[in-house]
Amino acid sequence: MSQNQTTIAPQPGIMEISLYEGGASKVAGVENVVKLSSNENPFGPSDKAREAVIRAAHGLHRYPNTDHAGLRGAIGEVHGLDPDRIICGVGSDEIIHFLCQAYAGPGTEVLFTEHGFLMYRISAHAAGATPVQVAERDRVTDIDALIAGATPRTRLIFVANPNNPTGTMVGLPELERLARAVPQAILVVDAAYAEYVGDYDGGAELATRLPNVFMTRTFSKIYGLGGLRVGWGYGPREIIDVLNRIRGPFNLSNVALEGAEAAMRDREHIARCQAENARMRAWLAEALAEKGVPSDTSCANFILARFADAETAGACDEYLKTQGLIVRRVAGYGLPHCLRITIGDEASCRRVAHVIGQYMAERAESR
């Protein structure tokens, strides 16, 4: 390097980020694959959402509105929430990033559990904060461990509830206990999978009542709009005001806003998806257990299948691929002996259960 050249370095923490890898969608040499790796809704978005997207496409030459009033109003109407306490983003990922950008930074800590969503660590590093991971208890969020792991430097605590990739969850009283025990930090309840739970508001009531609780949600799961990238957050007005100051004014397109609003209002489609997911989730868990592959009770739209060891899980994954079935390895989440399997339609669930049964039988015979 010459004397006139200098090293241009990124902010501290950036190079600590491992690139996020989404669920695979292709298998070399295999056609007509069934993708069960990204927790997508197998029934897709509602017809009303599709129609709204088509209509919105006629206005692609126009900038979208900056206040997202229509979408926030629909969310507020459906969930009984104050639209002024709602912020919309490019998936809930962007809301998570806003929170870290606004409230974390060098010298502060961001707390989460060992099998928590990878974006918590990534967004903490991006803000220059120190990510702090605490143990779970049998793949369930341990509130006592989070309280013990908090320090005066803790600014954000992320709890995915239900959690991805475990599918487990804790009760709202436990979340309130955590929020009250660490008042200097914002407890972020990541409720991306809340719609797959029965009577559960995702933490909305806590975020209404407590000054340090914030809830994030997404349109990428049960609403079937992963390709549009829309999420939202709800919490105290003071936090919403801060986040809106760093939100790009045109972060969501016309197409995304119109599609999401129509999807939110189509409750019949959501009810059908909820019922079918619950039915096939129970069926798949039982079918896998009968084949010697246990899983925890899932509260989401996937099953975390547990195998004897990492080698068995990896070999099963490769076998599934040869049969055109793509599931998700979760070694990056500290679960190398597990495979996360999205609840697909009935045909997909029966097919994946059959193939895993074949694999387990062949493995048993070879020993």
d(C-alpha 234, C-alpha 226), whole Å: 20
The torsion angles phi and psi of 71, rounded to 5 degrees, stand at -70, -45
pLDDT over 90 for what percent of the chain? 89
d(C-alpha 251, C-alpha 243), whole Å: 13
d(C-alpha 258, C-alpha 266), whole Å: 13
6: pLDDT strictly greater than 90? no
Q: What is the pLDDT of residue 20?
A: 63
Instruction: Sort residue 68 into left (φ over 0), alpha (ψ -120 to 50) or beta.
Output: left
- 192 band by pLDDT with thresholds 50, 70 and 90: very high
- 29 band by pLDDT with thresholds 50, 70 and 90: low
Residue written as token pair 């025990």: 181
Nearest to 160 by CA among 207, 79, 216, 239: 216
Q: What is the pLDDT of residue 253?
A: 97
Helix (H, G, I), strand (E, B) or coil at 126: helix
Instruction: Sort residue 252 into left (φ over 0), alpha (ψ -120 to 50) or beta.
Output: beta
Q: What value does the mean pLDDT take over residues 8-36?
A: 72
Q: What is the pLDDT of residue 10?
A: 77
Q: What is the pLDDT of residue 14?
A: 73
More confident residue, 91 or 28: 91
Q: What is the pLDDT of residue 1?
A: 47
Q: What is the pLDDT of residues 236-260, one digit of tens each?
A: 999 999 999 999 999 999 999 999 9
Helix (H, G, I), strand (E, B) or coil at 200: coil
d(C-alpha 330, C-alpha 315), whole Å: 14
Cα–chain-centroid distance for residue 218? 8
Q: What's the first-to-final CA gap in the chain, in angstroms?
A: 59
Helix (H) or strand (E) holding 234: strand 231-234
Q: What value does the mean pLDDT take over residues 310-323?
A: 96
Q: What is the pLDDT of residue 13?
A: 74
Positions of E strands within the chain: 34-35, 86-89, 109-113, 130-134, 154-160, 186-190, 213-218, 231-234, 302-306, 325-326, 328-330, 335-342
Q: What is the pLDDT of residues 39-59, one digit of tens each?
A: 999 999 999 999 999 999 999
* Tally of CA atoms within 13 A in the half-sphere of 337 that contains its CB: 8
156: pLDDT strictly greater than 70? yes
Q: What value does the mean pLDDT take over residues 116-130?
A: 94
Packing angle, helices 346-366 and 267-290, rounded to 10: 10
pTM, entire model: 0.92
- Work out the number of other CB atoms within 10 angstroms of the CB of residue 205: 15
356: pLDDT strictly greater than 80? yes
d(C-alpha 294, C-alpha 290), whole Å: 8
Q: What is the pLDDT of residue 322?
A: 93
d(C-alpha 112, C-alpha 186), whole Å: 12
d(C-alpha 224, C-alpha 39), whole Å: 10
**HEC profile of 248-292:** CCCCCCHHHHHHHHHHHHCHHHHHHHHHHHHHHHHHHHHHHHHCC
Helix (H, G, I), strand (E, B) or coil at 237: helix
Q: What value does the mean pLDDT take over residues 88-105?
A: 97
More confident residue, 294 or 7: 294
Q: What value does the mean pLDDT take over residues 304-318?
A: 97
d(C-alpha 49, C-alpha 293), whole Å: 37
Q: What is the pLDDT of residue 26?
A: 63
